Structure 1
Amino acid sequence: MVAQSPLQGLKKAALDKAKGLASKENLNKATTLLLNDLDKTRAQFDSTDFDYSIIVTDNSGLFDVKEKGERNAKLITSANLYNKFMQNDELTEIEKARAHLEFGEIFYAQNKYTTAENRFTSARELFESGSGTDDIGYLKTIANQGLLYATMGRFTQAETYTAEALDLRKTKLGETNAGVAASYNNYAVLRYNLGKYNEAEKDIEQALAILTQNNLKDAMQYAIALNNLAMLKQTIGRFDDAIKDLKEVLSISEKLQSSKSKNHLKFVSNLALLYQQTGKYPEAEALYLSAQSRISKTSPDYAALLNNLALLYRAMGQDEKVEDPLVKALAIYKSNVGDESPVYAKTLNDLGNFYRSKERYAEAEPLLTKALSIREKALGTTHPLYAQSQEDLAIHYWKKGEIDKAYTLYKVVMDQSLEFINQYFPPMSEAEKTKYWDVLSPRFQRFYNFANASAATNKEVVKDLYDYHIATKALLLSSTNKIKQSIIASKDAVLITDYFKWLDQKETLARYYAYTKEELKEQKINLDSTERAANTLEKRISERSKDFSAGFSNQKITHAQLSTLLNDQEAIVEIVRVRIYNQSFTDQVAYLALVLTRGAKEPVLITLNNGNQLETRYAKYYRNTIQQKQPDNVSYEQYWSKIEPALAGKKILYLSLDGAYNQLNLNTLKKADGDYLVKKYEMILLGNSKDLIAIKSRKASTPKKNAFLIGFPDYGGPELTSLPGTKTELDGINKMLKLNGYQVIQFTQKEASEKNLKNIKAPELLHIATHGYFLQDVEGKDDAYGISAENALENPLLRSGLMLAGASKTVSGASAPSLESNDNGVLTAYEAMNLNLEGTQLIILSACETGLGDVKNGEGVYGLQRAFLVAGADALIMSLWKVDDAATQLLMTNFYTNWIKLRDKQKAFKQAQLQLMTKYKEPYYWGAFIMIGN
């Protein structure tokens, strides 16, 4: 049983007594008793007992901290009692106002929204006419109006009342009053419904902070606000964090109420949704079915559960279980909230999508159209759910064969999606951006499928395909670099201090990642809280980096702009990896090549449909022939033969690669009866073809002529093979650079340490000659070269790195992790991101497999390559496979000789490869290294 509040008991006793009284005199006495007692208790009780709006699986509704809807419904047993009560002539206006408020809340909890609206309106009018605007009930009336209109989908009115309630509560109750927390929470839910996710998150965090100040971390109010934060995180893809928050919510809820309570069931349903979205289908189904039998079959909560259960069965491939629950959910929503509500539109849209997937187009179209219309009226045309409806209808027209209708809708959707990035990205940390992009990027993938399918009849869509792709390719890397650059250039002392404080926090995290969860527990270290602190500081920094906030929308580059930068001998080749979408995504992959030349009206589109084979069979074949130094008569045909006809007469290619193309060196491909591509083209690798703008606009500058060389480390044990060739390599480079006026710092043997590398300050040139590594899989291992395997498993930047002095003890496990120092001889890519390399022209990673990592669709390689680019390097030279020591030494010597003479690192690098070919014919020797960047 849940204990009644003092207020609840008083109301019930008085009303029960009133029901048995016949005379007007006795009714007046009971009424006076009730209202006097209410007046006495409100000052101490109402400041913390406010109704809280809750996000329930994408739907917003009233949520009562005392479950008023369950227990107070019985208080109104007849309309006759209500009418007698309200018509009592001896009630003052303030007393009537309070009564209207109380009954309005009860009607609201019973989903009788129109009646509740009338009661709240009457309450407000009576408070105002009776000079009761200082009464705490007046504040609650306004707050309730905001909640009611939000529930009804009338968001413009809701925002007016919610903002007013928040301002009044802050003024009358104080900034830290728990009632203010309620208004922050409710405003957060409203903003969530309006698609204002950044503002919503701030409001919820403000509510949680106030509740914590008021020692309410174990109260239902806190659980509700934390639930709302979890569901906001769910919407923007931060699923793991959301699950953690919801588990805490359920722990609080179970202590306060039974696990069968209505409140608890809402939280359980939300957790089930998160399990569903993270692929834990059996766990999700078990929670839904458990909750199903304990929720009223006519309530909106039951409709929400049916809707999510239907989508779960869709994801599980049990399509026969999908239609019926969606139809039932629609009927429940219609009877409770009407057929113009956003929640009704969601179910309508889901059912329309299901019919479309089954090619039941005649049934799907009216549902999808109606859902779009409802969302336009309720949410507006810039809301994420409106964009989702537009896309769903566009896909419907596409699959139905009405390409022109589909294209018109899709064009609007994609432009709006770019605006979402511009809107939501600025205050997010990189981890949060990554998760939000994971939510949004499937839309771009679906559009690429649509563009490819309709390109034969619609040339405009090919232009859009190119433009949208370059707008978002390497988006995460680009945003990180922009923020860093804007901070450094800001001259804002506080911002710069916070930035370096954040770097220190990441260094601390790098130490913590060496420990298992059990070891951290023994050391009394909370890894989660440390990560949260770093994340919070990063968000604060990002939000204050105004240059980035304005940067994205101001830099919409198009194919037409890039085309004008090319000369007649140049071309851009943009590779796009596309996951095939039929009525849903499949496990098949295609690659698109977009070739852009000077004066072209649109890019040339080439489709390679054998994407799965390019990533498996042919990738393995390419690597094997390289390693075995055998002729390769297959790779050219598979990866390049279809693209080459579009490059007739071109000599210089700007290549922006994706997917499997990141794991091979195109220079090493050749026709069976022809020569290697390195002799035919000058290939320049870019992260995104719009980087060409920076290349073409770059003016000649005076080189800093300082270099940092590090290599030939003393590994300190037999676990790592010594590399004497690297000593010869570094000494030769050192001598050559000094003869040409360079200031050179060189560290070898014991001085080739992680500590010395971390202390560098943006040299023009950084050359590292040592062992590199990338661990593809650490499943089942305890340790990943000094990093706990359970931490490394989730982050490829913890699975790649460089071996430096003393690394053998770390590799062997003989060296225990230290909380005092990060100098364990292994520089992970995660640590490399923090190096001070802003302004460094070139980094040469003269080590094995430094170009490898996890290939993330559209983002490039997550490993050392990404780390050094994030750290600020303009360009990198790195290897794709284990390199021959003597060949590498000669390649580097040739490169530096050429670079000093030509002052063009791209030409110097190609010439060095051609020179090496005269001695070593096979690509194994001269093709291991690639250069990427500006």
Structure 2
Amino acid sequence: MKTKKVFSFFLILTLQSVLSSLNAQSWMELNNKVSEFFKKEKYEKAYKMAEKACLKAENEFGKSSDQFIVSAVNLAEIYRRIGFYNKAEKRLKESIIIFEKKYGKNNPYYASICNNFAVLYSGMGNFPEAETYFTEAKNIRENYFGKKHRYYAESCNNLAELYYSLGNYKKAESLLIESNEIYKKVSKKNKKDPYYAGSCNNLAELYNTTGKYKKAELLLKEAKTIREKIFGKKHPEYALSCVNLAENYLKTKKYKDAEKLFTEAKIIYEKVYGKEHILFANVCNNLAVLYIKTGKSDEAELLLKEAKEIIEKKYGKKHPYYAEICANLAGLYEFAGDNIQDKNKKEGMYKKSELLYYELDGILNSYIRESAKYLSEREREQYLTKKLTDKFNKIYSFFLTKRTENKRIGAVIYSNLLNLKGQLLRSAAAVRKLAVQSGDTVLLNAYDKMNFYGKILNEQNLYPAEQRRSDLKQIKEKLNTAEKELIKNSQIYSEILNKQRISWQFIRMCLKKDEAATEFFSFHYRNNLKQTDSVLYYALVLRSHFQNPEIVFLSEEKQLQNLLRRPPGISEYEYIKNLYDPESTKADSLYKLLWQPLENYLKDVKNVYISPAGLLNRIAFDALPYDKKDILSDKYKIIYMSSTAEITNDSNLYRKNIKNAVLFGGLKYGVKPDVTNKSNSISDSLTRNLSWDYLPGSFDEVKEIQTVMKNAGIKVKLYSGNEGSENRFNELNKNAPDILHISTHGFYFGNDEKNNEYENILNNKVQFVISKNPLLRSGFILSGGNAAFSGKRFYSADEDGVLTAAEISRLNLFKTKLAVLSACQTGLGDIKGYEGVYGLQRAFKMAGTEYLLFSLWSVPDETTKELMINFYKNWLNGQEIRDAFKNAQNQLKEKYKDVPGAAFAWAAFVLLK
């Protein structure tokens, strides 16, 4: 665990009215003794004296006096130092209320109290309150002292440490560098300033975490030298430097040097604070990790047990250190079990490890639920990725390789996936929906600000880096603040989150006898202490009569990658044919890897609800052959879902729910109207400098759909030619139709080495191709879209004819029941962990659409038109939406049954709820 320096404030320099009071001498003497004990780290004596000073101030001057404020703030700080968090919180609360009434908020002392509050809450693991107070203190100090003052630097440092704890390393680094530079300038020759030393220490810890070990070591040695000169070798500040440098040595495998420093710090902490302090527990944990790595298991176990008991007793099981210790102790027992031959002893060790992993799993899930109440989407993504995912990987790796006989494991992992899978998407969509439907002016204002700054950010990110606004960093901050403001002001948001917490038992209750739920998942396999390069794919199968979900191993990702890799020079048609043709060996391999292992659990099943994960998002399961002539869609009705949790609120969608529709198709893109086919690949277009040609089949498609809809009594608007502009599309915001059908060119540029070639071709002009944001690398081409890709007109107006997924994600389409993305590869995108595909399908889900119809590969115009017309006829004639779509596919299957590679024609599209 990392030990970092946050700067709290002890009010040794008291308020002016206190200094001028002639009646305060006896209290002043008492307060000076408190200060003296505090400086010498004699906290046991200090807090008893401080309690007397606080009581004396209250009795002689009253609770509204400056004497009482000073005494209470100082007492709270001493309480915090010795671990009396609840007492500290109580004193700070009464102090800040009194101070604000007397002096207001724009005051450096008020900022100091805010800062102390934040340090306290950070130590308690209450990150949302900590951020609120740290930010308030920073803003006050900036206004009062300016950006070159050490108090402002202190606030930068403290806020950075909070962001570090949440995995937001980029934001933390920026603040730490700013803080360090200020301290350099205000310190006298940089040699004896404890604040500069603390700043060096914290920046080094960030470098340690991000793998910049040499940089970290130099800063840590500098900090240690300064602290030794100022405090000596028996002071906690010196001990802190020992711990931090030891952590660096632990990372770089200098184990002897690390052990010496950890041991030195442990002795200091025990003498100064005793054995029940958080810093003592922390160094015990770190030393234990060292002993695990060096084979001293018995010593490690004793230290971890001691640290666990301290944290649980004084800070509770929700403290981040407690989770860290549980993970380390579980790993220790697992490692011991791996190396014991005796079966009974091995089982004993694994049982201990299992219980700790169960406990850890519960804690991690509580962290995820809490983080959704105060972190923005981007912050939660970083928190999950950098702070929690590795621990989940440890849990899964242990359970799925060493506890396979335990039926409870399937239930635990299923519960995790219901909490984790698409969590960011679900919560982001929920809070947006709440805002737009609430009518609350505060929520709507926050929502509008979020969209305003998001739009600016999206537009700026489409410029080459050198042409972007200089205040882009501030725009990002404003966007982040607006999103968090929206979350915090949503009083019923927590109720929405609770409703989203679906149990696997409830899903089981909703399943019919002939139905099964299949939740796919993948994780990075860890061989206990070692991270491997293996990503393993599993499925959880649930039926109405199962006592627990069944766990089924499928494949290692490398096997899937090999099967799904498209050889150079092969056409897309040939590639898809090889993947899905019943005679193909690749198709047979795919079936044996991904579906055959499930068959034992699917006896007498007709409907299979599936939620893909990772690379499985690119598989058309309906088209997988299970023998030389039959495919899965002949045997099962496969129903795609973002999460099988949606089974619990699944509802049928019929014609009676539809009143209006908007269609886009037959668009003119602003260059020569060469006739082409929508199945042309993006790579083909690149050789023509990314120009997009007119699609006559697209116009035929939407015209026929318009006729079908009008005949069904649906009000239809059709935009074609130059009318299908980006502005026209944006008019749908807050005025969304029931059906939105888009027939045009779609694009998705992967985040891979191919983009380097694209960048050279385009001379770094088209950010749609090379952006780091996957929602900017996918989208639609609307009327006039060629200008943006040719560089002839460069984002000089509100619209450029290119509608990115990022832009779509900020629209209000919550009334839209179906969005049909009738373009090439609209289902593709970057794949990110538990969140799935980052592309157009995510964008439309964030915007609020209920159902999506998208494609996994490029499809010829004529075939697409047939599928769409058949689908709408089926649906608008009374069939339920899923049946209508399946029947439309079956109609094409029947038509092309004797054509080699028939799946290319009918299986590309997926209907997803």
> CA shift at 1:567, angstroms?
1.5
User: Alpha-carbon deviation of 1:928?
Assistant: 5.0
* Among candidates 719, 736, 742, match of residue 714 of structure 2: 742
Supply the distance in 2 between the matched residues of 1:716 and 1:903 (Cα, whole angstroms). 40
- CA–CA distance in 1 between the matches of 2:633 and 2:604? 15
In structure 2, what is the equivalent of residue 896 of structure 1? Answer: 872
- Aligned with residue 779 of structure 2, among 801, 805, 808: 801
- Residue 338 in 1 paired to residue 270 in 2? no
Alignment of 1:601-616 (within 5 A): 601-616=547-562
Tell whether the 8 Å contact from 1:295 to 1:301 is kept in structure 2 after alignment: yes
Matched, 1:442 2:390: yes
TM-aligned CA distance change 1:141 to 1:635, over 3 Å? same
Q: Distance in 1 between matches of 2:65 and 2:444?
A: 48
Match of 1:281? 213
Cα RMSD (Å) of the superposition? 3.0
Question: Where do 1:763-912 residues align within 5 Å?
Answer: 763-777=737-751, 778=755, 781=759, 789=767, 793-818=771-796, 821-912=797-888
> Alpha-carbon deviations, 1:279-322, whole Å to 9, x = none?
43343333223433333144333433333344344445665654
- Matched residue SS, 1:294: helix
Q: Contact 1:65/1:220 (CA < 8 Å) preserved in 2?
A: no
Residue 87 of structure 1 is matched in structure 2 by none
CA distance in 2, matches of 1:139, 1:897: 75
Q: Distance in 2 between matches of 1:723 and 1:373?
A: 69
SS of equivalent residue, structure 1 residue 708: strand
Shift of 1:763: 1.1
Which of 606, 609, 615 is residue 660 of structure 1 equivalent to?
615
**Which structure is larger by alpha-carbon Rg, 1 or 2?**
1
Cα distance change of structure 1 residues 586 and 305 upon mapping to structure 2, 3 Å threshold:
farther
C-alpha displacement of 1:824: 0.5
The alpha-carbon distance between structure 1 residues 205 and 717, as it changes in their structure 2 partners (threshold 3 A), is same
Q: Secondary structure at 1:591's aligned position in 2?
A: strand
CA contact (8 A) 2:607 2:636 kept: yes
Q: Residues 242 and 648 from structure 1, CA distance in 2 versus in 1: closer, same or farther, beyond 3 angstroms? A: same
Find the aligned partners of 1:591 and 1:769 in 2 and give their Cα distance. 35
Q: Does 1:644 align with 2:623?
A: no
Q: How does 1:98-497 map to 2 (within 5 A)?
A: 98-127=28-57, 131=61, 136-258=66-188, 259-260=190-191, 261-296=193-228, 297-316=233-252, 322-357=258-293, 360-401=296-337, 402-438=349-385, 439-497=387-445
Q: 1:406 is matched by which residue type in structure 2?
A: S
Cα distance in 1, alignment partners of residues 789 and 110 from structure 2: 54
Task: Measure, in 2, the Cα distance between the counterparts of 1:253 and 1:689.
Answer: 53
**How do 1:11-90 residues align onto structure 2 when only pairs under 5 Å count?**
57-58=3-4, 62=8
In structure 2, relative to structure 1, the CA distance for the partners of 1:247 and 1:357 (3 Å cut) is same
Q: Letter of the aligned partner of 2:109 in structure 1? A: G
Measured at CA, do residues 739 and 122 of structure 1 come closer, stay the same or move farther in structure 2, by a change above 3 Å?
Answer: closer
Deviations 1:245-279 (A, max 9, x none): 22222232223214332211211211122223334
Please, which of 691, 697, 711 is the counterpart of residue 665 of structure 2? 711
Deviating more after overlay: 416-425 vs 750-759: 416-425
| 8 Å contact kept, 1:394–1:406 | yes
For 1:650 and 1:141, the matched residues in 2 are separated by: 71
For structure 1, list consecutive stretches of 5 or more residues without a partner in the other structure. 1-54, 69-90
Tell me, what secondary structure is at the counterpart of 1:237? coil
C-alpha distance in structure 2 between counterparts of 1:339 and 1:61, whole Å:
23
Structure 1's 689 and 358: CA in aligned 2 closer, same or farther, altered over 3 A?
farther
Match of 1:15 in 2: none
The Cα shift of 1:828 comes to 0.9
C-alpha separation in 2, matches of 1:726 and 1:790: 23
* Structure 1 pair 316–864 and aligned structure 2 pair: CA distance change class (3 A): farther
Asked if the contact 1:303/1:329 (under 8 Å) is kept, the reply is yes
CA displacement at 1:617 relative to structure 2: 4.8
Greater shift in the superposed pair: 389-398 or 231-240? 389-398
Q: 2:524 — aligned with what?
A: 579
TM-score normalized by the length of structure 1: 0.85
2:729 is matched with: 757
Structure 1 residue aligned with 2:489: 544
How many Å apart are 1:852 and its aligned residue? 1.0
Q: Secondary structure at the match of 2:74?
A: helix
Kept in 1, the 8 Å contact 2:749–2:769? The answer is no
| Pair 619,310 (structure 1): closer, same or farther in 2 beyond 3 Å | farther
TM-aligned CA deviation for residue 483 of structure 1: 0.9
User: Against the structure 1 CA distance between its residues 159 and 488, is the aligned structure 2 distance closer, same or farther, given a 3 Å change threshold?
Assistant: same
Distance 1:791 1:257 in 2: 47
User: How far apart, in 1, do the equivalents of 2:760 and 2:839 lie?
Assistant: 21
Give yes or no for contact 2:517–2:542 (8 Å, CA) kept in 1: yes
**TM-score for both structures, normalised by structure 2:** 0.87
What is the distance in 1 between the residues matched to 2:254 and 2:636? 52
Q: 1:394: Cα distance to partner?
A: 3.1
Structure 2: runs of 5+ lacking an equivalent:
15-20, 338-348, 579-583, 673-690
SS at match of 2:780: strand
One-letter identity of the residue aligned with 1:484: R
For the structure 1 residues 252 and 484, does the alpha-carbon distance in structure 2 shift closer, same or farther, using more than 3 Å as the test? same
| Per-residue deviation, 1:862 | 0.5
Distance in 1 separating the partners of 2:695 and 2:257: 63
CA distance in structure 2 between the aligned counterparts of 1:754 and 1:762, rounded to whole angstroms? 15
Residues in 2 aligned to 1:724 and 1:512: alpha-carbon distance in whole angstroms: 34
Q: CA deviation at 1:885?
A: 2.4
Q: Distance in 2 between matches of 1:685 and 1:398?
A: 37
Of 784-793 and 560-569, deviating more is 784-793
Check 1:660–1:134 CA distance in 2 against 1; reply closer, same or farther (3 A cut). closer
- 497-506 vs 734-743, which moves further: 497-506
Shift of 1:236: 1.1
Per-residue Cα deviation, 1:728-748 (whole angstroms, up to 9, x for no partner):
111111111111111111111
How far apart are the structure 1 equivalents of 2:139 and 2:336? 51
Aligned equivalents of 1:305, 1:803: Cα separation in 2: 56
Flag the 1:839–1:619 CA change in 2: closer, same or farther, 3 A. farther
Name the SS for the 2:172 alignment partner.
helix
Deviation at 1:924, TM superposition (A): 5.0
Is contact 1:60-1:151 (8 Å) kept? Answer: no
Deviation at 1:877, TM superposition (A): 1.3
Return the letter of the residue paired with 1:811.
Answer: F
Cα deviation, residue 633, structure 1: 3.2
Equivalent-residue separation in structure 2 for 1:790 and 1:250 (angstroms): 37
**Greater mean deviation of Cα atoms: 319-328 or 243-252:** 319-328
Residue identity over aligned pairs, in percent, reads 30
1:867-903 deviations in whole A, cap 9, x for unaligned? 0111111111111222222222222222222222343
Q: Deviations over 1:569-589 (max 9, x none)?
A: 211111110111222432211
- The amino acid across from 1:396 in the alignment is L
What residue in structure 2 maps to residue 689 of structure 1?
A: 644
How far the C-alpha of 1:392 sits from its partner, in A, is: 3.0
* Contact in 1 for aligned 2:722/2:784 (Cα 8 Å): yes
SS at match of 1:585: strand
TM-fit CA distance, 1:342: 0.5
CA displacement at 1:692 relative to structure 2: 0.5
Deviation of 1:232 after TM superposition, in Å, equals 0.9
Q: Provide closer, same or farther for how the CA distance between residues 61 and 756 of structure 1 changes in structure 2, counting only shifts above 3 A.
A: closer
Distance 1:776 1:298 in 2: 56
**Higher mean Cα deviation, 781-790 or 450-459?**
781-790
Q: Work out the CA distance in 2 between the residues paired with 1:763 and 1:319.
A: 65
Kept after mapping to 2: 8 A contact 1:571/1:653: yes
CA distance in 1, matches of 2:257, 2:560: 37
8 Å CA contact 1:803, 1:825 repeated in 2: yes
Cα gap change, 1:114 to 1:787, in 2 (>3 Å) = farther
* Partner Cα distance (2:748, 2:763) in 1: 10
